[in-house]
Amino acid sequence: MSEASVEVSDVWPERHRGRVVLVTGGAGGLGGAAAERLAAEGAVVLVADLSIEEEHWGDEGARVRLDVTDQDQWVELRDRVLERYGRLDGLLVAHGAQGPEAPIEEVPYDGWRRTLSVNLDSVFLALHTVMGVMRQQRAGRVVLLASISGREGNASMSAYSASKAGVISLAKSVAKEVADSGIVVNAVAPSMFQTRLLDDLSPERNAMLLSRVPMGRVGHPSEFAALAAWLLSDECSYTTGQVFDLTGGRFSGA
């Protein structure tokens, strides 16, 4: 079955005009696709990624190197964003690490800790750092990248599943905290998507996971970008604390 795509005609060129949106993991994968979509819809997109070697700050956006596990770097980035652009309208947390693929008794503790640090602790740091800004603005849109693994768990992926379950709970908790401040917080829980994370899984696990997708294909990053663009827009005004499955029909009752 052919992959889905988002054509230029599907983009709403003015929907994010003038909005300042920070995207972590924005140098590629799901975050990269979302960053491109947001820019096409008029946003000032700030791409933050550990892989960025040369930083650039301009009127139409920025590219900055960020270690998402470093609190000092988060604070510095927030301050630079406010100094340059004066506000922060949206935050898309789209970075992540696959973590060890092994039975629980074979998972190294440092691998466990690293996975939770990248996938969960960093999300706390992001929210902890920027939420005060959005409260003062009394406006903001936040989208956190979770996973279907965080809703139902995957065997031999305990660290990844646990970290994404934490992201889901964090989204729900913070959404309740800021619901009366003009801020909405939601999570997206994808299943299999055409990103480099699939390359980190064994062929056997890829085949097993794909067999659980009724549509019979992996998702395309543009499909994630389309959902993220709506969740980060003013149109998403009465939906908060929710987890949006993006799974090709794979159902989780969790």
Inside any domain, residue 28:
yes
Inside any domain, residue 164:
yes
Tokens 């994370």 -> residue: 197
| 205 or 21, greater pLDDT | 21
Query: How far apart are alpha carbons 19 and 213 in whole angstroms?
Result: 35
Output the DSSP codes for 157-225.
Answer: -HHHHHHHHHHHHHHHHHHHHHGGGTEEEEEEEE-SBSSGGGGGS-HHHHHHHHTT-TT-SPBPHHHHH
Which amino acid, 228? Answer: A
pLDDT digits (tens, 9 = 90+) for 50-104: 999 999 999 999 999 999 999 999 999 999 999 999 999 999 999 999 999 999 9
pLDDT digits (tens, 9 = 90+) for 229-243: 999 999 999 999 999
Catalogue the E-assigned strands of 78-168: 90-93, 140-145
User: What does pLDDT average to over the chain?
Assistant: 92
| 137 or 204, greater pLDDT | 137
- In this prediction, residue 124 carries a pLDDT of 99
* Half-sphere exposure of residue 124: CA atoms within 13 angstroms, side-chain side: 12
- Would the pLDDT of 9 be above 50? no
- Would the pLDDT of 249 be above 90? no
- Would the pLDDT of 205 be above 80? no
- In this prediction, residue 115 carries a pLDDT of 98
Q: In the annotation, is 85 catalytic?
A: no
- In this prediction, residue 253 carries a pLDDT of 52
Phi/psi-derived region of residue 153, left when phi > 0, alpha when psi is between -120 and 50, beta in every other case: left
- In this prediction, residue 212 carries a pLDDT of 78
Inside any domain, residue 249:
no
- Would the pLDDT of 8 be above 50? no
Query: How far apart are alpha carbons 21 and 232 in whole angstroms?
Result: 8
Inside any domain, residue 73:
yes
Residues 246 and 191 sit within 8 Å (Cβ to Cβ): yes
- Would the pLDDT of 3 be above 50? no
| 160 or 208, greater pLDDT | 160
| Closest C-alpha to 246, from 114, 94, 140 | 94
* Tokens, residue 169: 């709970």
Question: What percent of the chain is modeled with pLDDT above 70?
Answer: 93
Question: What percent of the chain is modeled with pLDDT above 90?
Answer: 79
Residues 50 and 65 sit within 8 Å (Cβ to Cβ): yes
Residues 60 and 84 sit within 8 Å (Cβ to Cβ): no
Find the CATH number of the domain harbouring 193.
3.40.50.720
Domain count, the chain: 1
- Our CA angle for 184, 17, 124, nearest 5°, is 35
Q: Which residues share a beta bridge with 243?
A: 187
Residue 197 neighbours by CB distance under 10 Å: 17
Task: Indicate the burial class of 215 (C-beta count within 10 angstroms; 0-12, 13-18, 19 or more).
Answer: middle
- Mean pLDDT calculated for residue range 184-198: 86
Note down the domain range covering 40.
16-244
Inside any domain, residue 41:
yes
pTM summary value: 0.91
Tokens 């005009």 -> residue: 17
- In this prediction, residue 252 carries a pLDDT of 57
Residue 56 neighbours by CB distance under 10 Å: 10
> Which of the residue ranges 25-34, 103-112, 206-215, 234-243 would you say has the lowest mean pLDDT?
206-215
pLDDT digits (tens, 9 = 90+) for 93-136: 999 999 999 999 999 999 999 999 999 999 999 999 999 999 99
Residues 30 and 187 sit within 8 Å (Cβ to Cβ): no
